[in-house]
Amino acid sequence: MSRNNTNSVNNTNSVNNTTASVRTIVDQYQANCARINQMADLCEAEQRTRTEQENAEYEALTRENAVLQMRMQAAAARHMAQNPNALADANRLLRDNMQEGRQTQIMFTPDLVMVADGTSGGIIPLNIQDILDPLTEGLILDKVGLPMPTGLAGDYVWPTYEAVEATIAGEGVELTDTKINMSKLTAQPQRVGVAIPVTRQTIIQTQGIIETIVKRLMPQAVAMLLNKVLFSTTKATGATSLVGPFVGKAATATAMSATPTFADFVKLKAAVLASGVDGTNLCWVMTQAQKAIAEATPKDAGSGIMVCEQDHIAGIPVFCTHYIGEGYIGLGDWRYQPMGLFGDISFIVDPYSQARKDAVDFVLNCNYGTTTLRPEAFALGKVAVDPGK
């Protein structure tokens, strides 16, 4: 009896020591990563490469992290061997943290998968990597500077009026009446939603991980649609009032060279400034490919300066999104394109409506509205087709 109690105490102490060891290793690993990020931020802010001293420190940190990763895997393997219920405990912790909205750090360790025949690999090591996120290049909605209020309700109206001009009159001559033409602009919200049914078998087999993926994908899907609405030259499917400033401008887009020159960009800039926009909040919108061409196009002969340098063209910042479409270059002051969220974002997990399919329905709904307050604050250029392609 005494021997069993002693063994139990020893096992408990071993598990506790393993947990403490893993915590120490993880803390050191995270501290090293934080220092590497600090060096990266400093180099980026000062627009330089690492110094000789920073290079030596960086190499030492990466070497130490490689050793720490091996120690983490070894410690995790010992913990799993000493505590067979560790995986079930981790799953419960993950689900509890998901419900409470807390972050969970999970470390997957290599496992072995047994297959039926030797030709299929016999014993194959299974290395579980991080979940790959979908490609979402071009989400710049939060970068261009447009107003994005939330929790809106009712009608949002922007009164507008036309400018008036004074007249010259002689002494004692009665002035004629001048009328002020008034109108209004409104933002009419439209419903944006996404529904993803997931079978219970999938939820069980993935031990709840699929729920995390769905909760990540759904708001991302809304962001992708809003980016498409604002920067595309055509209406999104089903859109009536939810349209961006470039819709309708494609037919009258300013012609630009197949390889746009600095003069082409300045011409587009001048067209917007001529409308009375002060130019302090302008930005370019184009694809990554179009920006790459501008980065390789000389501004003038012999200077070695390119059209696009330091993510700026003609003093105006450049943002990239594939939603504008290849061959189009947009310019605008996004203060004149407010977009607002009306009400709240509704996220419902419905386990009943698809019960016959043994599925759970994840449904997200929200209402967004946008309007172009000044169409002249935006311009669109169309790059000519290269005859050599």
Q: pLDDT tens, 138-153?
A: 556 667 777 666 666 6
Quickly count: other Cβ atoms within 10 Å of residue 127's Cβ.
9
User: Percentage of the chain surpassing pLDDT 70?
Assistant: 64
Check residues 10 and 387 and name the one with the higher pLDDT.
387
Reply yes or no on whether the pLDDT at 3 is more than 50. no
Of 14-18, 59-63, 173-177, the range with the lowest mean pLDDT is 14-18
Across 125-139, 145-159, 276-290, the highest mean pLDDT is recorded for 276-290
Query: pLDDT grade, residue 120 (50/70/90)?
Result: very low
Asked if 109 contacts 75 with a C-beta cutoff of 8 angstroms, the reply is no
Average pLDDT, the chain: 75
Reply yes or no on whether the pLDDT at 277 is more than 80. yes
Query: pLDDT grade, residue 127 (50/70/90)?
Result: very low
Helix (H, G, I), strand (E, B), or coil: what is residue 250?
helix
CB-count burial class (<10 Å; 0-12, 13-18, 19+) for 2: exposed
Phi, psi angle pair for 105, to nearest 5°: -105, 120
Q: pLDDT tens, 29-43?
A: 878 888 888 888 888
The Cα–Cα gap between 26 and 38 comes to 18
Of 116-120, 147-151, 352-356, 385-389, the range with the lowest mean pLDDT is 116-120
Residue 166: what pLDDT? Answer: 62
Query: pLDDT grade, residue 341 (50/70/90)?
Result: confident
Reply yes or no on whether the pLDDT at 314 is more than 70. yes
Residue 184 token pair: 């209004």
Alpha helices, DSSP H, located in 83-190: 86-100
Check residues 111 and 95 and name the one with the higher pLDDT.
95
Please compute the mean of the pLDDT values over residues 82-87 and round it to a whole number. Answer: 56
Dump the DSSP string for 28-81. HHHHHHHHHHHHHHHHHHHT-PPPHHHHHHHHHHHHHHHHHHHHHHHHHHHHHH
Residue 289: what pLDDT? Answer: 93
Asked if 237 contacts 225 with a C-beta cutoff of 8 angstroms, the reply is no
Residue 131: what pLDDT? Answer: 45
pTM (2 decimals)?
0.58
Let me know how many helices (H) and strands (E) the chain has, helices first.
Answer: 7, 13
User: Percentage of the chain surpassing pLDDT 90?
Assistant: 22
Instruction: Count Cβ neighbours within 10 Å for each residue of 189-200 and write b for 16 or more, e otherwise.
Output: bbebebebebee
Helix (H, G, I), strand (E, B), or coil: what is residue 219?
helix
Residue 220: what pLDDT? Answer: 85
Reply yes or no on whether the pLDDT at 103 is more than 70. no
Query: pLDDT grade, residue 118 (50/70/90)?
Result: very low
Reply yes or no on whether the pLDDT at 87 is more than 70. no
Please compute the mean of the pLDDT values over residues 59-68 and round it to a whole number. Answer: 86
Asked if 236 contacts 242 with a C-beta cutoff of 8 angstroms, the reply is yes
Asked if 152 contacts 342 with a C-beta cutoff of 8 angstroms, the reply is yes
Reply yes or no on whether the pLDDT at 111 is more than 70. no
